[in-house]
Structure 1
Amino acid sequence: MVKPTDIVHALAGTYSLVNNTVYNLTTNTQIPSTWGDAPAGLLTYTKYGFMSAVMSATVPAWRPTDIRWPPKDADPPHSWELVGRHSLSYAGTFSLNASVANTKTQGQLLHGPIRTASVPVMINETQARYYTVAERAGEVYLNVWLESQGLRSEIWWRRIVKG
């Protein structure tokens, strides 16, 4: 039997977003992703039980160039709306769901309680994420997916730094 700490240590690292595929579970069809065809992002799990995720679209129409940080009163509201609709960030703790058979290559993670998020309603939530780890050509890939509101979102990440 694999100890939970061994699984957490095996998952620890920083991953680069490869793609996100979303399926309608009722019609069994693929639907467009919030982040488009070539999203950008990083996912980090630490061996101490913390995680952070940042994801955003790279579609030029969703990445306005007429705004800069910090926001200004004169900025076009529509530009900030696009940024908000096509990006997500959150961070908090993570753990293994003890009611699921977890291994170093598959199981279920619990993200949360979430401590900070670009979507305020996520704060203090705990969200379940299934995971599968795969190795291909010497690279480690992490598939994290969830099912909610009739949709299945599969997000593939490639490890860029082992934790």
Structure 2
Amino acid sequence: MKTDHIIAALAGTYSLINSTAWQNGTELPSPWGSNPVGLLTYTRYGYMTANMAATEADLRPVNIRWPPKNTDADADWSLVGMHAMSYAGFFSINASVPATTHRGQLLHGPMVAASVPVMVGSTSRRNYVMHERGEATYLLVSVPSDDPTFRSEIWWKRVAKG
């Protein structure tokens, strides 16, 4: 399958709008809180990066700065780590699933860097659906699951075409 045109159509930077997951039809609390921020970038060269974080003060201590200091509380850094996610690496179109410029499945990985160490070297599947609304482009990314009671959707809005 020739996928260069699909990758070119997806290429760009997207701003996080919403991340929601459900188990047995019940919405689950988001690790990124109720008003998350994030960016997702796909390049036409097959690289990607995803970053998501909570914005609520009780999930993001404002008393710590980079680089960490010996006087910083481990609990504060732990809280930041529990409510933020970053990873970067390669991406491709999953050839075993029918794909178009508007719908298909991506493979994120292998990951080169990740805030969660076990993700380095891993590859994850992500379903995508592209929506055009006037001048705006929205990307719905869902995480496929073997558990039929679980569903996850992440909505992004394109802020820069790649």
- Calculate the TM-score normalised by the size of structure 2: 0.95
State how 1:79-158 maps to structure 2 within 5 Å: 79-148=76-145, 150=147, 151-158=150-157
1:21 lines up with 2:20 in the alignment: yes
Query: 1:85-136 CA deviation, whole Å, 9 max, x = no partner?
Result: 0000000000000000000000000000000000000000000000000012
For 1:32 and 1:139, the matched residues in 2 are separated by: 28
Deviation at 1:73, TM superposition (A): 1.3
Query: 1:68-96 CA deviation, whole Å, 9 max, x = no partner?
Result: 00001110111101100000000000000
For 2:40 and 2:6, the matched residues in 1 are separated by: 17
Matched residue, 1:12: 11
Q: Which amino acid aligns with 1:100?
A: V
Deviation at 1:36, TM superposition (A): 1.4
Q: What residue ranges of structure 2 are gaps of 5+ in the alignment?
A: none
Q: What residue ranges of structure 1 are gaps of 5+ in the alignment?
A: none
Deviation at 1:147, TM superposition (A): 3.4
Q: Which amino acid aligns with 2:29?
A: P
State how 1:40-59 maps to structure 2 within 5 Å: 40-59=37-56
Deviation at 1:66, TM superposition (A): 1.0
- Deviation beyond 2 Å, 4+ runs, structure 1: 147-152
For 1:136 and 1:21, the matched residues in 2 are separated by: 21
SS in structure 2 at match of 1:18: strand
Matched residue, 2:159: 160
Identity of aligned residues (%): 54
Matched residue, 1:34: 31
